[in-house]
C-alpha cells in the first residue's frame, strides 16, 4: 500500500479524519484484495501500536459499506490488543464527556469516538491511572491494580457520542447525564469516578490537570456573569420592618443546618444597630431540601420583627461561593457584610466599629477577629503555605489560631494581613461585583476566600483585620468536613487555588 506512510502519519497524530481520507479511497479502489494482504501494509501500524485508532475506521467501513473483509481485519487486529472495557460515560455541560474504564496494558489509552454528526475524535488518555483492585481480581493479575483510567472527550456543543471504542474495543456503556445537575454534585460525581476509596489522593493534582479541570471549568462558565446571579433566585420572602436607608446588608448563606440561625438572629435582635435600621439581613438558602421548612419558620417567627429581613431561595444548590455572590448581587446597599450562619455577635456595638474602620479605608476587604466558644482565636488573618503531606497543594495557615483572644492586642486601627477568611467580610458591593466575587469553580467551599483575597490584593486593594471587633465563630456547623469525599474536595479546591493564583504557583 503506497499510502501506508500517509496513513501512519495521520494516525500517529490522532487525526482520524485525515486517516480516513487516505484509507477509504484506497479501499474503494482495491477492494477485498487489499484487505487480504493486510499483514503487509499494516505491519508498521502495528509496530507503532496504532491499532486502537485503525480498528474503529475498519469497523465503521464494515457497517457503512457492508464490507466483511474490513470487519475480519478489525477482529484480527483486536487480538493484538490487551483487554480493556468502559464502565460508564459521564456527560457534562458543553459537550464534555468523561470516559471511566480500565485496561490491562500499561500504555496510555486511546479513546475513539464517532459522533452523531459523523465526526471522528481520537483522545489520548494522559491522566494517571486509578487504583482498581476489582479489575486486578477479575483478571487474576495482581500487577493490574492500577488498571483504572479517566479520559476526557470534548464533543462539539449539541453533538453526541454515537459509537465509542477504548483501545480498539467497542463499548456501549451506560451514559450518566450530569449536564443539568447542580455544580457541587457534579464535582462530587467526578471525584467519585476517581475510585477515591482506593486511588492515592496524591494523584489528584494530575487527575485534575489531565481530565477533570477542563470539564469543571466548562461547567462553571455560565455562572460567571454577575448580571446572571439574581436570576438564580427562585423565591423571595420579605419579613419584618423595611429599613430602606440601611448602610449595610448582612448576607448569610444557608446550607444544611439552619437551626444555628436561631442564635444568630437572637444576637441581632438585642443589638440596637439592627433594630434602628443600620443594617438589613439577607439570608440566601442554597439548599432546596431545607427551603420549604425554613421559609415556613421564617414567616411564622419574623413577620412582625423589628428587623429588616429578606430570605431568598436559590433554584438549586450552587455552592458556598455562588450563594454569597447571589446575595451580594441581590443586596441594594452600598456595603455588604458576608457572614456565615454560625457567626454570632458577642456584644452590641461591633457593627458600628466595623463600619467606622471601613469608612477610613473604603476600598478594603475588612474582617473582624473571630474567636471560638472557648475564647481562643479562630481567625486573625491567614496566609498560604505548601502542605507538608503534599507540597503540590497549598494550605491555609491562621497565625495565632488557638491563642487566648483576651491576650491578643485590640489595635485602634485595622492591620494589614495577607489573606482573610470568608466567614466574615465587609466590602463595597460594587467593588466585589467588579472583581467577579467568589470564583464559582470552588463548589462546596474552601480556598475561595484565599483566592479572592489574593485577587483583591493583586488589584492593589488592601486586606485589613479589625482586631478590636470580635465575633464568635462555631466553625463548620453546616457542612460535614469529615470523610474521604470531603478530603478530596478540599484537596481539589487547594489545587484550584494554586492554579488560579500566580502567588501560589511559586510555593515549593
pLDDT in tens, 252-297: 999 988 888 888 988 898 899 998 999 999 999 999 999 999 999 9
Question: Largest Cα–Cα distance in the chain?
Answer: 93
Q: What is the CA radius of gyration of the chain?
A: 28
What are the domain boundaries of the chain?
A: 4-78, 84-223, 227-376+407-479
The predicted pLDDT at position 80 comes to: 85
pLDDT band of 3, cuts 50, 70, 90: low
How far, in Å, CA of 425 to CA of 414, rounded?
13
Cα dihedral sign, 314-317-318-321? positive
Interhelix angle 68-78/16-36, nearest 10 degrees = 100
The overall average pLDDT reported for the chain is 92
The predicted pLDDT at position 425 comes to: 98
Q: Please name which of 77, 99, 202 lies closest in space to residue 149, comparing C-alpha atoms.
A: 99
Give, as one character, the DSSP assignment of residue 209: I
How far, in Å, CA of 332 to CA of 335, rounded?
9
pLDDT exceeds cutoff 70 at 478: no
pTM equals 0.93
pLDDT exceeds cutoff 90 at 139: no
User: HEC string of 402-423?
Assistant: CCEHHHCCCCCCCEECCECCCC
pLDDT exceeds cutoff 80 at 413: yes
CATH hierarchy code of domain 227-376+407-479? 3.90.550.10
Interhelix angle 51-65/16-36, nearest 10 degrees = 70
* Stretch (H or E) spanning 88: strand 84-92
How far, in Å, CA of 225 to CA of 223, rounded?
6
pLDDT exceeds cutoff 70 at 488: yes
pLDDT band of 33, cuts 50, 70, 90: low
pLDDT in tens, 187-245: 999 999 999 999 999 999 999 999 999 999 999 999 999 999 999 999 999 999 999 99
Cell of residue 450, nine digits: 484565599
Strands (E), 110-232: 110-115, 120-124, 148-154, 161-166, 169-171, 174-177
Angle at 35 between CA 34 and CA 39, to 5 degrees: 100
Cell of residue 378, nine digits: 479562630
Q: Please name which of 169, 223, 133 lies closest in space to residue 51, comparing C-alpha atoms.
A: 169
pLDDT exceeds cutoff 80 at 4: no
How far, in Å, CA of 338 to CA of 331, rounded?
11
**Proportion of the chain above pLDDT 70, given as a percent:** 95
pLDDT exceeds cutoff 80 at 480: no
- Within a 10 A sphere around the Cβ of 79, how many other Cβ atoms? 8
Give, as one character, the DSSP assignment of residue 376: B
Place of cell 490491562: 104
Which burial class, exposed, middle or buried, applies to 200 when counting CB atoms under 10 A from its CB (0-12, 13-18, 19+)?
exposed
pLDDT band of 371, cuts 50, 70, 90: very high
The predicted pLDDT at position 213 comes to: 97
Amino acid at each position: 500500500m503506497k499510502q501506508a506512510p500517509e496513513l501512519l502519519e495521520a494516525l500517529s497524530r490522532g487525526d482520524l479524519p485525515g486517516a480516513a481520507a487516505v484509507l477509504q479511497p484506497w479501499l474503494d479502489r482495491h477492494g477485498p484484495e487489499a484487505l487480504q494482504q493486510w499483514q503487509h501494509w499494516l505491519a508498521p501500524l502495528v509496530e507503532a501500536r496504532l491499532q486502537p485508532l485503525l480498528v474503529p475506521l475498519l469497523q465503521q467501513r464494515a457497517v457503512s459499506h457492508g464490507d466483511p473483509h474490513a470487519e475480519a481485519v478489525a477482529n484480527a487486529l483486536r487480538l493484538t490488543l490487551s483487554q480493556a472495557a468502559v464502565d460508564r460515560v459521564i456527560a457534562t455541560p458543553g459537550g464534555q464527556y468523561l470516559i471511566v474504564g480500565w485496561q490491562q496494558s500499561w500504555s496510555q489509552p486511546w479513546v475513539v469516538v464517532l459522533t452523531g454528526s459523523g465526526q471522528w475524535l481520537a483522545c489520548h488518555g494522559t491522566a494517571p491511572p486509578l487504583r482498581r483492585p476489582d479489575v486486578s481480581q477479575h483478571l487474576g493479575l495482581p500487577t493490574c491494580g492500577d488498571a483504572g483510567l479517566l479520559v476526557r472527550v470534548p464533543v462539539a456543543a449539541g453533538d453526541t457520542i454515537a459509537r465509542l471504542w477504548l483501545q480498539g474495543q467497542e463499548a456501549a456503556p451506560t451514559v450518566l447525564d450530569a449536564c443539568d445537575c447542580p455544580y457541587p454534585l457534579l464535582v462530587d460525581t467526578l471525584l467519585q469516578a476517581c475510585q477515591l476509596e482506593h486511588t492515592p489522593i496524591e494523584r489528584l493534582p494530575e487527575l485534575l490537570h489531565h481530565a477533570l479541570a477542563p470539564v469543571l471549568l466548562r461547567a462553571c462558565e455560565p455562572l460567571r456573569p454577575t448580571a446572571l446571579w439574581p436570576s438564580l433566585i427562585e423565591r423571595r420572602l420579605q419579613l419584618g420592618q423595611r429599613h430602606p436607608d440601611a448602610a449595610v446588608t448582612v448576607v448569610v448563606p444557608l446550607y444544611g443546618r439552619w437551626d444555628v440561625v436561631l442564635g444568630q438572629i437572637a444576637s441581632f435582635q438585642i443589638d440596637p444597630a439592627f433594630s434602628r435600621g443600620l443594617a438589613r439581613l439577607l439570608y440566601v438558602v442554597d439548599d432546596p431540601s431545607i427551603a420549604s421548612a425554613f421559609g415556613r419558620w421564617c414567616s411564622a417567627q419574623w413577620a412582625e420583627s423589628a428587623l429588616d429581613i429578606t430570605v431568598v431561595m436559590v433554584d438549586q444548590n450552587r455552592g458556598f461561593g455562588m450563594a454569597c455572590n447571589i446575595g451580594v448581587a441581590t443586596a441594594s446597599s452600598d456595603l455588604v457584610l458576608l457572614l456565615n450562619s454560625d457567626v454570632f455577635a458577642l456584644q452590641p456595638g461591633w457593627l458600628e466599629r466595623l463600619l467606622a474602620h471601613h469608612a477610613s479605608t473604603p476600598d478594603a476587604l475588612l474582617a473582624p477577629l473571630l474567636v471560638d466558644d472557648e475564647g481562643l482565636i479562630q481567625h486573625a488573618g491567614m496566609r498560604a503555605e505548601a502542605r507538608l503531606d503534599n507540597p503540590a497543594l497549598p494550605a491555609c495557615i491562621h497565625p495565632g489560631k488557638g491563642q487566648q483572644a483576651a491576650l491578643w492586642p485590640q489595635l485602634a486601627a485595622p492591620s494589614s494581613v495577607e489573606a482573610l477568611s470568608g466567614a466574615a467580610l465587609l466590602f463595597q458591593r460594587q467593588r466585589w461585583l467588579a472583581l467577579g466575587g467568589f470564583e464559582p469553580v470552588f463548589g462546596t467551599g474552601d480556598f475561595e476566600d484565599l483566592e479572592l483575597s489574593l485577587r483583591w490584593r493583586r488589584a492593589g486593594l488592601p486586606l485589613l483585620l479589625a482586631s478590636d471587633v470580635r465575633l464568635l465563630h462555631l466553625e463548620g456547623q453546616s457542612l460535614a468536613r469529615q470523610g474521604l469525599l470531603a478530603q478530596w474536595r478540599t484537596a481539589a479546591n487547594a489545587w484550584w487555588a494554586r492554579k488560579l493564583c500566580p502567588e501560589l504557583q511559586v510555593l515549593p
